[in-house]
């Protein structure tokens, strides 16, 4: 099961990573139009925000898979192996608890937006709820990856290894 979770987050992370290109393209177009031709768009800011929001929401599980999140090494590196494993375990449990609340509230946040067909305040009035949909989706995959990491950490603590 842990390998399946890792594989899903690996494939999703690699796919999602390509969102960076349309986001950058939109920003480049906006900069050229705004500063080169003094003719800014009404859509570029909103679309680049949406693309990067989805990117950052969904890339979290992939980052966790490769242990790319920031850690305070000042204390962590001074601990024994068992101490580091315990701190990993504690951090994982706290983060899963936080994610469960975020999943719950993020789902409500999306559902309210969806039921009222919320649109942004810009001139074009594009829907906001599709982006909000990715909050619970991203958090769900993050929880799966954290639970996988938790299982591995517990096994390592029992064996006394890393």
* 162 residues of the chain, pLDDT tens digit each: 788 888 888 898 999 999 999 999 999 999 999 999 999 998 888 889 899 999 988 998 998 888 777 766 778 888 888 888 788 778 778 888 888 899 999 999 999 999 999 998 877 788 889 999 999 999 999 988 888 887 887 787 788 765
Residues whose CB is less than 8 angstroms from the CB of residue 158 and which lie 6 or more positions away in sequence, other chains included = none
Residues whose CB is less than 8 angstroms from the CB of residue 38 and which lie 6 or more positions away in sequence, other chains included = none
Domain count, the chain: 1
pLDDT of residue 71: 67
pLDDT of residue 72: 67
Cβ atoms < 10 Å from Cβ of 80: 8
pTM: 0.77
Phi, psi of 119 (to 5 degrees): -125, 160
Phi, psi of 127 (to 5 degrees): -65, 145
Q: Which domain holds residue 94?
A: 2-159
């Amino acid at each position: 099961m842990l390998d399946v979770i890792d594989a899903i987050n690996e494939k999703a992370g690699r796919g999602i990573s390509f969102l960076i290109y349309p986001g950058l393209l939109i920003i480049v177009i906006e900069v050229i139009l705004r500063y080169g031709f003094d003719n800014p768009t009404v859509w570029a800011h909103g679309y680049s925000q949406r693309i990067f929001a989805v990117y950052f929401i969904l890339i979290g599980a992939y980052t966790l898979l490769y242990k790319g999140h920031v850690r305070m090494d000042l204390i962590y590196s001074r601990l024994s192996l068992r101490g580091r494993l315990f701190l990993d375990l504690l951090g994982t449990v706290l983060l899963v608890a936080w994610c469960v609340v975020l999943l719950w509230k993020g789902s409500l946040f999306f559902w309210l937006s969806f039921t009222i067909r919320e649109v942004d305040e810009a001139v074009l009035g594009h829907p906001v709820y599709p982006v909000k949909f990715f909050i619970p989706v991203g958090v769900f995959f993050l929880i799966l990856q954290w639970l996988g990491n938790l299982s591995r950490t517990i096994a390592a603590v029992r064996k006394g290894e890393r």
